[in-house]
Amino acid sequence: MKRRTIVLAILFVAVVAASLCYIYGSRNDAPYNIKNGMIHFAEPERAEGQTSMLGFAAEPIDTVRVGIIGIGQRGRGPLKRMSFIEGVKIVAICDRHQENLDKGQARLEKYGLPRADEYVGDEAWKELCQREDINLIYITTPWSLHTPMAVYAMEHGKHVAIEVPAATSVAECWQLVDTSERTRRHCMMLENCIYDHFELTTLNMAQQGLFGEIIHVEGGYIHALDKFWHLFDDNWRLKHNQSHDGDVYATHGLGPICYALNIHRGDRMTHLVAMDTNSWKGLELAKESLGTEEFANGDHTSTLIRTYKGKTIGLQHNVYNPRPYSRQYQLTGTKGFANKYPTPGIALEHESMADSGVVPNHEDLSSHKYLPQEAYDALIEKYRHPLQKELLEYALKVGGHGGMDFIMDYRLIYCLRNGLPLDQDVYDAAEWSCIGELSAASIQNNSMPVVFPDFTRGEWNKLKGHTFATK
């Protein structure tokens, strides 16, 4: 009888456990469990033979030979930008549609570049990646293809640059990390917002101590996409949002503030909580465009993150409602504050302003309000980032989101040509991309805290602060 009781108890526990796994299962089927009231995703051990990519520098490449996959909405931009960069050659282009390739070739001709070899079709990108004469694969395809293409390219000896987000699940993030570590190939996410003029300048200010200790930061992606949904081939972006909740597009807001906090360069994100609104506008779009009565992504998603050193990050995502464009971008420090949207502004305590050496003839320098224009302009000029001093004027002429796209491509090619660590490494790609599934897991479990995987595998404190490498 006692034995039967024990057996029944074991069966009961197993059933309960299975039920909990079902209840708490992710829509993306990612392996996680719940322990002490927190969601934990699996963190695989580093395989034998793999080594960290922190600070990794590959052998210099005199001429970077590029293959671009995806010549649609985002893919034609680099065709122009790279025509202004020394030491780069666009060897091949690939797309599902011949008309996009035709437009790409026309753009190459417009900017005085030779026609590239063409690859057309759903699987043609694999043939491109197999070419022996290509150093870099540049990926600007729908999100679901980013990781499979990047992994395949690295396995064929290519460095990769991937549009945002680099991955759509935690499992894909680990694939990128492990493949990059195993193949010793760079895997850079093309996060352009870290090169924004205000973000770069305030990063320089923060690194020089103007704001004191940075304690709280905010970022987001507020962008009504009403006029843009139809531009995504086969409505793939709306379809992704229809099937995924959480902050599916966090990298624009998160990237710059992670630099300011030295994430995996002295600090790390430890856990998050997230919640969202119901879907009103998203559901309306789904009914009109997709013929469905279901829409997973809430109209507005809010995520709060804490770091190992006790700092906090606030993120927002809203691509549905009629709000002015904003990436939120705020830095709060013990001695000062910076805010970009709706208008750039900086507030400093009086002592910090004096310490900066910028003391314009103004009677009221109060930290209770933004600096007056004269003081702001003087401060911006004094702390202008070295990359801006070198590239801003030229970048504005080339264009691409106010020049930041050009600086991004320029830095990618510059670092590859000079054998330097890239500005963004594979751990940035994983950390910034995993927000989608982590926030979804929290939302699906009544805003339960979710533990961040440590993609550096314990080495997040090895580097001290972010740097833009130069020769």
- Check residue 29 and give its pLDDT: 53
Question: The tokens 């200790």 sit on which residue?
Answer: 213
* Radius of gyration over every alpha carbon of the chain, rounded to an integer in angstroms: 23
- The CATH number of residue 148's host domain is 3.40.50.720
Residues 246 and 308 in one domain: yes
Residues 144 and 252 in one domain: no
Residues 164 and 311 in one domain: no
- Check residue 10 and give its pLDDT: 42
- Check residue 257 and give its pLDDT: 98
Closest to 146 measured CA to CA, from 240, 222, 219, 66: 240
CA distance 466 to 435: 21
- Classify residue 207: in a domain, yes or no: yes
CA distance 95 to 66: 15
In this structure, what token pair is assigned to residue 81? 């930008």
Query: Which of 152, 167, 191 is a domain's end point?
Result: 191
What's at 14, amino acid-wise?
Answer: A
The answer to whether 69 and 140 are in contact (CB under 8 A) is yes
In this structure, what token pair is assigned to residue 210? 């103007």
Domain count, the chain: 2
- Classify residue 222: in a domain, yes or no: yes
- Classify residue 366: in a domain, yes or no: yes
DSSP letters for 95-148: ES-HHHHHHHHHHHHHTTPPPPEEEESTTHHHHHHT-TT--EEEE-S-GGGHHH
- Check residue 351 and give its pLDDT: 78
Strands 32-35 and 38-41: antiparallel
Supply the range of the domain harboring residue 107. 64-191
Residues 185 and 199 in one domain: no
In this structure, what token pair is assigned to residue 469? 């490498």
- Classify residue 218: in a domain, yes or no: yes
- Classify residue 165: in a domain, yes or no: yes
Q: Establish how many alpha carbons lie within 13 A of residue 376's alpha carbon, considering only the half-sphere containing its beta carbon.
A: 17
Residues 81 and 209 in one domain: no
- Check residue 363 and give its pLDDT: 53
Closest to 191 measured CA to CA, from 408, 467, 455: 408
> For residue range 78-131, what is the model confidence (pLDDT) as tens digits?
999 999 999 999 999 999 999 999 999 999 999 999 999 999 999 999 999 999
Query: Which of 166, 191, 216 is a domain's end point?
Result: 191
Instruction: Report which secondary-structure segment, H or E, holds 307.
Output: strand 301-307
- Check residue 20 and give its pLDDT: 42
CA distance 49 to 47: 6
In this structure, what token pair is assigned to residue 143? 């999100």
CA distance 253 to 218: 8
CA distance 32 to 60: 40
DSSP letters for 134-155: --EEEE-S-GGGHHHHHHHHHH
Residues 439 and 381 in one domain: yes
Phi, psi of 457 (to 5 degrees): 55, 55
Closest to 384 measured CA to CA, from 254, 134, 198, 127: 198
Residues 301 and 380 in one domain: yes
Residues 129 and 208 in one domain: no
Q: Establish how many alpha carbons lie within 13 A of residue 368's alpha carbon, considering only the half-sphere containing its beta carbon.
A: 2
CA distance 341 to 38: 34
The answer to whether 304 and 270 are in contact (CB under 8 A) is no
- Classify residue 254: in a domain, yes or no: yes
- Check residue 142 and give its pLDDT: 97
- Classify residue 408: in a domain, yes or no: no
Q: What is the pLDDT along the chain (471 residues), one digit of tens a residue?
A: 445 544 444 444 343 343 344 333 434 455 799 999 999 999 999 999 999 999 999 999 999 999 999 999 889 999 999 999 999 999 999 999 999 999 999 999 999 999 999 999 999 999 999 999 999 999 999 999 999 999 999 999 999 999 999 999 999 999 999 999 999 999 999 999 999 999 999 999 999 999 999 999 999 999 999 999 999 999 999 999 999 999 999 999 999 999 999 999 999 999 999 999 999 999 999 999 999 999 999 999 999 999 999 999 999 999 999 999 999 999 999 999 999 999 999 999 877 777 777 765 555 556 678 999 999 999 999 999 999 999 989 999 998 898 999 999 999 999 999 999 999 999 999 999 999 999 999 999 999 999 999 999 999 999 999 999 999
Residues 248 and 116 in one domain: no
- Check residue 350 and give its pLDDT: 77
- Check residue 369 and give its pLDDT: 86
- Classify residue 316: in a domain, yes or no: yes
Residues 376 and 437 in one domain: yes
Query: Which of 136, 167, 191 is a domain's end point?
Result: 191
Residues 446 and 435 in one domain: yes
Instruction: Report which secondary-structure segment, H or E, holds 93.
Output: strand 88-95
Question: The tokens 């404190």 sit on which residue?
Answer: 461
- The CATH number of residue 350's host domain is 3.30.360.10
Whether the full predicted model's pTM is greater than 0.75, yes or no, is: yes
- Check residue 11 and give its pLDDT: 42
In this structure, what token pair is assigned to residue 332? 């709060």
The answer to whether 206 and 331 are in contact (CB under 8 A) is yes
Residues 179 and 198 in one domain: no
Distance, C-alpha 131 to centroid of its chain: 28
